[in-house]
Amino acid sequence: MILNRFLMISIVKRNRYLILRRLVQFSILVSFIGTNKWGWTFLVGNLSAARVLDSFYLADPYAVLQIFASGFIVSSDLLVGAFIVLIFYATIGGRAFCSWVCPLNIITDSAAWLRRKLGFNFSSDNLRIKRSIRYWVLLLGLVLSAILGLSVFEMVSPIGMLHRGLIFGFGMGWAIVISVFLFDLVVMKNGWCGHFCPLGGFYSLSGKYALIEVKHKVEKCSDCMDCFKVCPEPQVLKIVTKLSGMIDAGECTNCGRCVDVCADSALIFSLKNIK
Amino acid sequence: MNKEGQDNSRRDALKTMFRGAGLMGLGGMVWGGMADGLKASELSLRPPGALKEKDFVKACIRCGSCVEACPYDSLVLATPDDNTAIGTPYFEARKIPCYMCTDVPCVEECPSGALDAALLSPKDENLAESMDINKARMGIAVVDQNNCIAFWGIQCDACYRACPLIGEAITLDFRRNERTGKHAYIEPVVNREICTGCGMCEHACVTEEPSIIILPVEVASGKVGAHYVKSWENKNDNKLNGATEKVNSDASAAEDYLNDSESLFDD
């Protein structure tokens, strides 16, 4: 019994940020669903645009940019809302939207977890595409929006399909979500979030100089490499085992998985060193 | 050797650039085609106060606030199998029509400007309080005269009774039934200037598939072209200001076309 409790505590401790993230993700989702199903009013809309506590709006800055590219300027409410979101992630959260808010993260994390458990690592036939392609997808999304007069990423976004699906009903949207899961599982490790998603690319660029980052203390590190195994963007961990310092790449999603699994406390969340 | 190396690196850089451009082109074609295809149908009925379809799909941020505001659950957000731009709101009149709330909560809740209160307000006022739902133009009711049983001589005025603008948007036309010699046809006629496209008529229609159908205004409308002049309308003949008497066609062609027998036996 005592042993069980000890085990429980250690499991929670080794997954504390994962549990916290899921709590945040589900709370946001449930708030939106509650608005549609049970008439709550504190969070009205969805992740594209939402009214908070009947007082101000938040909006997806990349969606607002696409709408702008397609030839329409949204109302000042949403312009301010998009600006608030942009400033929040740019100064504080970095790419935290991806791992703490985005519902598709739950799907792609599951795919990555299952991939590890099943030992899928087809290094010989693995699709090799540079992670930087997301920035080109980001740019292409804006160019195409301008050419077609249509927010093109919003037309195909699996994030939107999953998110709206959960709140308003799926239709065939679930097929797209399962496609992303299978793609990440059998075709490409961290395929969608780590390579193609233009929204992730957007927050990677805008959140590059955000304050919250993971800090590495090399003197505590025992070179176990556990963090590399769980990290969805392992290229950001390049200093780990080598140098002390901040994980300051914009592509880090601040998911805290490395902090969770590090048995040596060599990785912790910290504020950026301001020189 | 050194020189060769430089040439190769320049060539490689060019190759990489071309490959990158090619990939962007490929991605653009596939993605653009997909997005444009998914936009698809212009047959969707949009909420009241919606901008023109082309502008509406641009402006809508797909937040679903209008859907949440709709007290009758008329509005739904399009899913991938709905043949409407994904995530944008629409309604199917046969299932649940627009019940014409006088406070128009869907427009009031729209944060993006895709549903525009100004389209429902008098020209000089732009206030949400002055919205008049009867100014909505969600579509136009079109009667299928082959299947509407009123046109068969059966007495039915379900659509007329269901219309919230009874006697204005739909009126009844009386016509003698020559077949029986003693009855009247009582036919519904839609006044396109007044019909809001709420769809209560389509919802109420008694035939198996509705015989009065709401079509989006742009789909249900023809276009005459700018050269027609309505002389009976005030100031419409202003169009003729600056017109000359010069005739552009060749007058001899009209005189000679019968003499020029070849054109008669062309085929």
3-state DSSP call for residue B32?
helix
Q: What is the pLDDT of residue A2?
A: 66
Residue showing tokens 């700018």: B226
In a domain, A157, yes or no: yes
Which of A136, A185, A128 has the alpha carbon at shortest distance from B31? A136
Are A101 and A167 in a shared domain?
yes
In a domain, A250, yes or no: yes
CB contact under 8 A, A140 and B81: no
3-state DSSP call for residue B247?
coil
Tokens, residue B247: 């005739």
In a domain, A4, yes or no: no
Q: What is the pLDDT of residue A96?
A: 92
On whether the CB atoms of residues B32 and A147 are closer than 8 A, the answer is yes
CATH code where residue B212 lies: 3.30.70.20
Are B118 and B150 in a shared domain?
no
In a domain, B29, yes or no: no
In a domain, A7, yes or no: no
Q: Taking the CA of residue B254 as centre, how many other CA atoms within 13 Å lie in the half-sphere pointing to its CB?
A: 5
SS3 content of chain B, % helix, strand, coil (to 5): 40, 15, 50
Are A160 and A78 in a shared domain?
yes
Kindly report the nearest CA distance between residue B86 and chain A, in angstroms. 6
Are A26 and A144 in a shared domain?
yes
Are B144 and B100 in a shared domain?
no
Kindly report the nearest CA distance between residue A41 and chain B, in angstroms. 10
Which of A72, A244, A107 has the alpha carbon at shortest distance from A183? A107
Per-residue burial over B215-250, b = 16 or more CB atoms within 10 Å of its CB, e = otherwise: bbbeebeeeeeeeeeeeeeeeeeeeeeeeeeeeeee
Are B166 and B114 in a shared domain?
no
Instruction: Compute CA distances A191 → A181, A195, B24, B32, B53, whole Å.
Output: 9, 5, 18, 21, 35
CB-CB neighbors (< 8 A) of A136 in chain B: 20, 23-24, 27
Q: What is the pLDDT of residue B1?
A: 43
End-to-end CA distance of chain A: 50
- Domain end marker among A190, A206, A222: A206
Q: Can you tell me the distance from the alpha carbon of B233 to that of B239, in angstroms, rounded to the nearest whole number?
A: 12
In a domain, A2, yes or no: no
Domain count, chain A: 2
Are A43 and A151 in a shared domain?
yes
Are A55 and A98 in a shared domain?
yes
In a domain, A6, yes or no: no
Which residue on chain A is closest to B87 by alpha carbon? Answer: A164
Band (pLDDT 50/70/90 cuts) for residue A111 is very high
In a domain, B111, yes or no: yes
Nearest to B112 among A49, A147, A149 (CB): A49
In a domain, B230, yes or no: no
On whether the CB atoms of residues A177 and A107 are closer than 8 A, the answer is yes
pLDDT, average across residues A12-31: 92
- Domain end marker among A206, A228, A243: A206
CB-CB neighbors (< 8 A) of A165 in chain B: 79
Which residue on chain A is closest to B26 by alpha carbon? Answer: A140
| pLDDT tens, residue by residue, A167-208 | 988 888 888 899 999 999 888 888 899 999 999 999 999 988
Are A93 and A42 in a shared domain?
yes
CB contact under 8 A, B31 and A169: no
Tell me if the pTM is above 0.90.
no
Are A147 and A23 in a shared domain?
yes
In a domain, B15, yes or no: no
Alpha helices per DSSP H over chain B? 2-39, 53-59, 65-69, 105-109, 158-162, 200-204, 217-220, 251-256
CATH code where residue B75 lies: 3.30.70
Q: Taking the CA of residue A100 as centre, how many other CA atoms within 13 Å lie in the half-sphere pointing to its CB?
A: 16
On whether the CB atoms of residues B77 and B89 are closer than 8 A, the answer is yes
CB-CB neighbors (< 8 A) of B36 in chain A: 148, 150
Write out residues 65-94 of A within 8 Å (CB-CB) of B.
67, 70-72, 74-75, 77-78, 81
| pLDDT tens, residue by residue, A207-246 | 888 899 999 999 999 999 999 999 999 999 999 988 888 9
Tokens, residue A52: 């908070």
| pLDDT tens, residue by residue, B201-238 | 999 999 999 999 999 998 898 998 888 888 888 888 78
* Mean pLDDT across chain A: 89
Domain span holding position B58: 53-135
Are A33 and A138 in a shared domain?
yes
CATH code where residue A224 lies: 3.30.70.20
Are B131 and B61 in a shared domain?
yes
On whether the CB atoms of residues A35 and A44 are closer than 8 A, the answer is yes
CB contact under 8 A, A67 and B61: yes
In a domain, B33, yes or no: no
Percent of chain A with pLDDT over 70: 96
3-state DSSP call for residue B187?
strand
Q: What is the pLDDT of residue B233?
A: 85
Optimal mutation site among A150, A162, A166, A177, interface B, most CBs of chain B within 10 A: A150
| pLDDT tens, residue by residue, B136-159 | 999 999 999 999 999 999 999 999
- Domain end marker among A187, A206, A225: A206
Are B146 and B75 in a shared domain?
no
* Mean pLDDT across chain B: 86
pLDDT, average across residues A8-20: 88
Q: What angle do CA A216, A217, A223 make, to 5 degrees?
A: 90
Are B119 and B146 in a shared domain?
no
Tokens, residue A211: 């304050």
Q: What is the pLDDT of residue B18?
A: 85
DSSP state of B30: H
Are B102 and B166 in a shared domain?
no
Are A159 and A220 in a shared domain?
no
Domain span holding position A70: 15-206
In this predicted structure, the answer to whether residue A59 has a pLDDT above a threshold of 80 is: yes
Kindly report the nearest CA distance between residue B77 and chain A, in angstroms. 7
Are A231 and A196 in a shared domain?
no
- Domain end marker among B86, B107, B135: B135
Question: HEC states along chain A?
Answer: CHHHHHHHHHHHHCCHHHHHHHHHHHHHHHHHHHHHHHCCCCEEEECCEEEECCCEEEECHHHHHHHHHHCCCCCHHHHHHHHHHHHHHHHHHCCHHHHHHCCHHHHHHHHHHHHHHHCCCCCCCCCCCCCCHHHHHHHHHHHHHHHHCCCHHHHHCHHHHHHHHHHHCCCCHHHHHHHHHHHHHHHCCCHHHHHHCHHHHHHHHHCCCCCEEEEECHHHCCCCCHHHHHCCCHHHHCCCCCCCEEECCCCCCCCCHHHHHCCCCCEEEEECCCC
| pLDDT tens, residue by residue, A119-175 | 877 665 566 788 889 999 999 999 999 999 889 999 889 999 999 999 988 888 888
In a domain, A85, yes or no: yes
Kindly report the nearest CA distance between residue A202 and chain B, in angstroms. 17
- Reported ipTM: the value is 0.87
B170 - beta bridge partners? B166, B190
Pairing of strands B76-77, A267-271: unpaired
Which residue on chain A is closest to B114 by alpha carbon? Answer: A74
Are A236 and A188 in a shared domain?
no
Optimal mutation site among B58, B74, B95, B109, interface A, most CBs of chain A within 10 A: B58
Residue showing tokens 């995530």: B87
Residues of chain B below pLDDT 70: 1-7, 40-41, 123-129, 248, 257-267
Are A155 and A265 in a shared domain?
no
Q: What is the pLDDT of residue B126?
A: 58
pLDDT, average across residues A86-111: 92
3-state DSSP call for residue B142?
strand
Domain count, chain B: 2
CB-CB neighbors (< 8 A) of B68 in chain A: 35-36, 44-45
In a domain, B60, yes or no: yes
Q: What is the pLDDT of residue A135?
A: 94
In a domain, B250, yes or no: no
Which residue on chain A is closest to B88 by alpha carbon? Answer: A155
In a domain, B203, yes or no: yes
